[in-house]
Amino acid sequence: MEGNVLVIGLGLIGGSIALSIKDEHKCKLMGYDLNQDRVRLAKSLNVIDDCVMTIEDEAQAADLIIIAVPVTETIAVLRELAKLKLKSGVIITDVGSTKKVIVDEACNVLPDYVDFIGGHPMAGSHKSGVEAAKKDLFENAFYVLTPTPHTSESAISTLEKWLACTRSTIVKMNAEEHDHVAGVVSHFPHIIASSLVEHAEIYHQETPIIQDLAAGGFKDITRIASSNPKMWSDILLHNREGILQQFEVWMDQMNRIQESIRNSSRDEIYHFFEHAKEFRDEFSTRKGRALATYFDLFIDIPDSPGVLAEITNILAKNEINITNIEIIESREDIYGVLRVSFRNENDRVRANKLISPIYETYILQ
């Protein structure tokens, strides 16, 4: 694709889309952020071709505008864009984690000659900022678009062509459906993750060793509690009604398991875990990966000096980039497990071919 692209909001998501588009399309990629330091950082990191000091400067020349700011700010940006004389046929999209309020506002304020299509790449991280952006962030994740019955087919198809570079799986649904689904798999779980951390904190005051012993499962289930509190407050207030309904269902479920434990009802407790396990185990066999773009290779390593260097050297010599590396368990008497994360499936497959003849490797599906 060719044209002028303007990304408004140069954080984790805006930065990642900008990198991906810049890598694939012959376009001029301009970036704007309320925080001018962020714009300059994005320029020095080569995330954008040029800095924009006010939205007016470039919005009027843009063929594609991507709004990648917190959801309440998205409303303010839409109102600002509505005051400008934009190019006829310009496509405006956003990346917000909620859709109904945003799509309704876009329909209300934008003129008819502009095509707005709500968007939500369902992948990311608890990190923020352009410094955490990566061009493969959305690879293999779902990317939801929420056209309305009035959205032109040609605008949807043009946006899909622009976004093909993300190598995500695009799915279309209406904004209400999106908010319901995102509420269940993303918004509500963020509340639970943070409440588990708060729960531990209550006991930690009397028993400080809790913080040291919190490991494995607790860390996995609460990783997202380290996300940006401002971003998540905005999301919950946008999806307020849906979230409130889910509280009812959740409380009911908690009451039921509490009751089963109170009655020492082994069968009911067993079924609670069994049922959850069965549904959870189905996730990994389904195509596409929502909310995660990690390509991990697990390697059994002896706990001896030089092993890490050996593995990273092999990968470096073969020009395979590592996005993360972590020793999961390392004790003197047993093998440790190294988790090495890659940008994409191809890198993981290549790494596995190189490492598996030397050490035992695993790929968890």
Ligand X SMILES: O=C(O)C(=O)Cc1ccc(O)cc1
Ligand Y SMILES: NC(=O)C1=CN([C@@H]2O[C@H](COP(=O)(O)OP(=O)(O)OC[C@H]3O[C@@H](n4cnc5c(N)ncnc54)[C@H](O)[C@@H]3O)[C@@H](O)[C@H]2O)C=CC1
- Please give the angle made by the CA atoms of 312, 316 and 319, to the nearest 5 degrees: 145
Residue nearest to ligand X (CB): 97
Decide whether 70 or 147 has the Cβ nearer to ligand Y. Answer: 70
Q: Pseudo-torsion of CA 237, 132, 141, 320, nearest 10°?
A: -170
7-15, 176-184, 241-249, 264-272 -> range binding ligand Y (CB under 6 A): 7-15
Select from ligand X, ligand Y, none the partner in contact with residue 66, using the beta carbon and a kind-dependent cut-off of 5 to 8 Å. Answer: none
Give the dihedral sign, CA 290/291/295/298. negative
Distance in Å, CB of 172 to ligand X, minimum: 17
If binding is defined by CB under 6 A, does position 224 make contact with ligand X?
yes
Site string for ligand Y, 173-212 (x = CB under 6 A): ----------------------------------------
> Could you tell me if 182 and 120 are in contact, meaning their C-beta atoms sit under 8 angstroms apart?
yes
Nearer to ligand X, 67 or 155 (CB): 67
For residue 342, with 0-12 CB atoms within 10 Å meaning exposed, 13-18 middle and 19 or more buried, which class applies? buried
CB 341 within 8 A of CB 323: yes
Return the closest-CA partner of residue 358 out of 321, 320, 307, 316. Answer: 307
- Tell the smallest beta-carbon distance from residue 166 to ligand X (Å): 14
Half-sphere exposure of 112 (CA within 13 A, CB side): 1
Member of 76, 132, 291, 322 binding ligand X (CB under 6 A): 291
Residues 45-84: x/- map of binding to ligand Y (CB under 6 A)? Answer: -----------------------xxxx-x--xx-------
Phi, psi of 102 (to 5 degrees): -70, -45
Q: Answer with the entry of ligand X, ligand Y, none that 8 interacts with (C-beta below 5 to 8 A by kind).
A: ligand Y
* The one among 125, 168, 222, 239 contacting ligand X by CB under 6 A: 125
**Of 15, 31, 70, 124, which one interacts with ligand X (CB under 6 A)?**
124
- Find the shortest distance in angstroms from Cβ 329 to ligand Y: 28
Cβ–Cβ < 8 Å for 29, 49: yes
Binding marks (x or -) toward ligand X, 166..195, rule CB under 6 A? --------------------x---------
Report the residue from 47, 66, 117, 231 that binds ligand Y according to the rule CB under 6 A: 231
Q: State the nearest-atom distance from the C-beta of 4 to ligand X, in Å.
A: 27
Binding site for ligand X (CB under 6 A): 97, 122-126, 186, 224, 291-292
Residues that bind ligand Y (CB under 6 A): 8-14, 33-35, 38, 68-71, 73, 76-77, 95-97, 120-121, 124-125, 128-129, 228, 231, 235
